[in-house]
Amino acid sequence: MGPLDRKAYFDDARRIVVKVGSNVLTEDDGLNLKVVRSISRQICRLIDRGLEVILVSSGAMAAGIRKIGLARRPDEIPKRQAVSAVGQAGLIMEYENAFERYGNKVAQILLTGDNLSNRKMYLNARNTLHTLLAWQVVPIINENDTVAIESIKFGDNDNLAAQITLMMDADLLIILSDIDGLFDKDPRHFPDARLIPAVTHFSRTIEKQASAIPGSLGSGGMLSKIKAARKVTSSGIPMVIANGNIPDVLEHIFDGQAIGTFFVPGEERMAKRKCWIGYSIKPEGSLTIDDGAVTAIVRRGKSLLPSGILEVEGDFGIGAGVQFKSTTGEILGVGLVNYSAADIRKIRGLQSSRIAEKLGEKPYDEVIHRDNLVITEHCP
């Protein structure tokens, strides 16, 4: 299929992830039940076409704010978590009622970053989702705001949706927002803003355009959606940003209509384990590497050797996830280390042949083997 033949991608899709943002799902006095029911109906129709659908839904915080009668989102973490608990109950109840109208069952899954950073929990979550899909139950996923703290948060549901897409080896991610797609400037303030129909590669210009278009109710603006797109497309999965307020938008997308912005995927799918390493684990430290190591890793697909390491940040053990970055501070990727931070400090800058001299043993030549290394953030 050609890179811009979006209909071919949709025709080949069998498992999709749909993320719906807070601005789509809420109105002044709480949940917009008309939209909840519309999204639910559309997903049920996609299921009737033979698709497996996983729904990542925001809206708990916004629904709770309106339900309790608060003027705005609280600043204090305990109050935010309490508001989310109130809102999540109403959110899942409305989804259950809406899907039941079309003979479909739903399941609520609440996750934190820790759940997917831990390999065992990650696999357990994936097995649970596979089981629900096999039972023809629609998983409805949200971040567990009731217990999540900053250190274990996903950041926003765009990131969560991207991680779920990778974890479940889905064929497509659709993000429904209150904006028509990615524009060259904020269309809410510039009447001459132009919609970008397709993105074939990422650049600093794309990120700059996205960062100028903020969100309001939700925690993620357009930049968070671009970051989600980079994750999934670099792993060989296409993504669409579209306006969730367009009637029957999901069905129109699968009918081949050029709605929203389509992000063209890379040519090859990333291995599932590498998806976990690159986009789910929480880095426990970082390594600054020299220009030669950058070229070897990014351009030639090599492992990270101790000779290319300049600085070590953090205190981590063997097997930890660690970021590696250039001398200019650009984060290039993540990998699982073969040595602790203390030992890397001892062998940094040395040839592999001298590891045993410094440590008394030499279990590995590489600090990070290429099989345990993922380039995540390199952007021309």
Backbone phi, then psi, for 26, in 5-degree steps?
Answer: -120, 155
pLDDT at position 19 is 97
pLDDT at position 4 is 65
DSSP 216: S
pLDDT band per the 50, 70, 90 thresholds, residue 29: low
Q: Is 238:264 a contact under the CB 8 Å cutoff?
A: yes
**Contacts with 247 (C-beta within 8 Å, 6 or more apart), sequence order:** 38
Record the tokens describing residue 17, joined without a space.
Answer: 């992830």
Cα-based torsion angle of the residue sequence 248, 11, 138, 45 in order, rounded to the nearest 10 degrees: 40
pLDDT at position 148 is 55
Q: Tens of pLDDT along 126-171?
A: 999 999 999 999 999 998 866 655 533 445 789 999 999 999 999 9
Lowest model confidence (mean pLDDT) among 108-122, 145-159, 244-258:
145-159
Q: Is the pLDDT of residue 379 over 90?
A: no
pLDDT at position 107 is 97
pLDDT band per the 50, 70, 90 thresholds, residue 272: confident
Average confidence score pLDDT of the chain: 88
pLDDT at position 323 is 96
Region 279-305 average pLDDT: 93
Q: Tens of pLDDT along 220-246?
A: 578 889 989 989 998 899 999 999 999
- Residues listed for the chain: 380
Does the CA dihedral 93-94-98-104 come out positive or negative?
negative
Q: Is the pLDDT of residue 273 over 80?
A: yes
- What percent of the chain has a predicted confidence (pLDDT) above 90? 57
Record the tokens describing residue 37, joined without a space.
Answer: 């029911």
pLDDT at position 56 is 97
pTM comes to: 0.87
pLDDT at position 172 is 96
CB atoms within 10 A of CB 174: 27
Neighbour-count burial for 159-170, b at 16+ CB within 10 Å, e otherwise = bbbbbbbbbbbb
Q: Is the pLDDT of residue 40 over 80?
A: yes
Does the CA dihedral 223-227-230-233 come out positive or negative?
negative
Lowest model confidence (mean pLDDT) among 58-62, 204-208, 276-280, 341-345:
204-208
User: 162 or 266: whose pLDDT is higher?
Assistant: 162
Q: Tens of pLDDT along 323-366?
A: 999 999 999 999 999 999 999 999 999 999 899 988 988 889 99
pLDDT at position 380 is 41
Q: Which residue intervals of the chain are DSSP H helices?
A: 6-12, 22-25, 33-48, 60-68, 77-100, 113-117, 119-134, 157-167, 204-211, 222-234, 249-254, 272-279, 291-294, 341-347, 355-359
Q: Is the pLDDT of residue 183 over 70?
A: yes
Plot region of 140 (φ>0 → left; ψ -120 to 50 → alpha; else → beta): beta
DSSP string, 105-151: EEEEEEE-HHHHHSHHHHHHHHHHHHHHHHTTEEEEEEE-TTT--GG
Q: Is the pLDDT of residue 104 over 60?
A: yes
Domains of the chain from N-terminus onward? 6-271 (3.40.1160.10), 283-375 (2.30.130.10)
Q: Is the pLDDT of residue 81 over 90?
A: no
pLDDT at position 152 is 36
Record the tokens describing residue 277, joined without a space.
Answer: 């390493």
Q: Is 56:161 a contact under the CB 8 Å cutoff?
A: yes
Q: Tens of pLDDT along 202-211?
A: 777 777 666 6
